[in-house]
Amino acid sequence: MENEPQKYLYKDLIAFTNYVNLNYIDLILAKNDIKTEHKRFLYTVLYKLNSGLDSCQLFVYNFNQTERHLDSLFLILRTLISDSLTTLYVINKDTKSNEDILKNIMTLYTDHLKYGLMNLGKYGRKIWGYSEEKINEETKKIKKDYSEFFDRDGNFKFKPFRVTIGDIAEYLIKNHADNISEALVIKGYDLYYFFSKYEHLGVLSLPLIHRQYDPENKPEILRQVGQAINVISFMIEYCLKHWSDFKVEDDADFQNLLKNLSKHS
């Protein structure tokens, strides 16, 4: 691996994720600074993205030795890109204040509850063998545990979040703020769409899962991995910039590590 390009990506990636863990995530947890929204939401995204990239370095390290593992790398990157674009949308969709962002977060959270309740009602008896009494008990428990999402009549206070990643990318391109690169959104969606063909079985599945065994494809695959990491690391910085306690733009070490990662895209 000494003279292989993935060596440099591996070293830069592990340096970046370790730095974020030690200087930001550990500090947030030490202060227990995730009690309120939208810090709870930002922390969830930050943790998922950084931990996901930390996992990716294992695949990058073994890039040429275990080609059969690369499909798993693409699936991880797809999920992290989806989270990245979704977060950009939540923070920027019709938002002029923190209250607007909070509303978008609650709308996103509501989607989990909506589909949990829908599946309970639709499949509780057919798949899990629940009685109607059991289904009603579980429904009441969910509404009690998450009472802030329901009104007195048991209806949702917020319209559930339901847009595709394509819808999100289109909105961000048309309405992006000055601190969001249109090119980055386009590249993020391009990679998300491509990696989705690994996620969903179809006519492209076989040629895609075998492409990494052809040495001629390796440089392009590594370039795609670097581009995806660049999109995700930007989102990590974006989350930290929205954390009022941090001045990540003034953190020279962080910015250097981020710059090093961007060279691989």
Confidence of residue 265 (pLDDT cuts 50, 70, 90): confident
> pLDDT tens digit string along 106-165?
999 999 999 999 999 999 889 999 999 999 999 999 999 999 999 999 999 998 888 999
Mean pLDDT over the full length of the chain: 92
Q: Label residues 125-145 b or e (16+ Cβ within 10 Å = b).
A: eeeeebeeeebeebbeebbee
- The per-residue pLDDT for range 11-23, each reduced to its tens digit, is 999 999 999 999 9
Phi–psi pair at 132, nearest 5 degrees: -60, -35
Radius of gyration of the chain measured on its C-alpha atoms: 21
For residue 21, give the 3-state DSSP assignment: helix
List pLDDT tens digits, range 34-88.
988 889 999 999 999 999 999 999 999 988 888 888 999 999 999 999 999 999 9
Alpha-carbon torsion 27, 52, 238, 33, what sign? negative
pTM of the full structure:
0.93
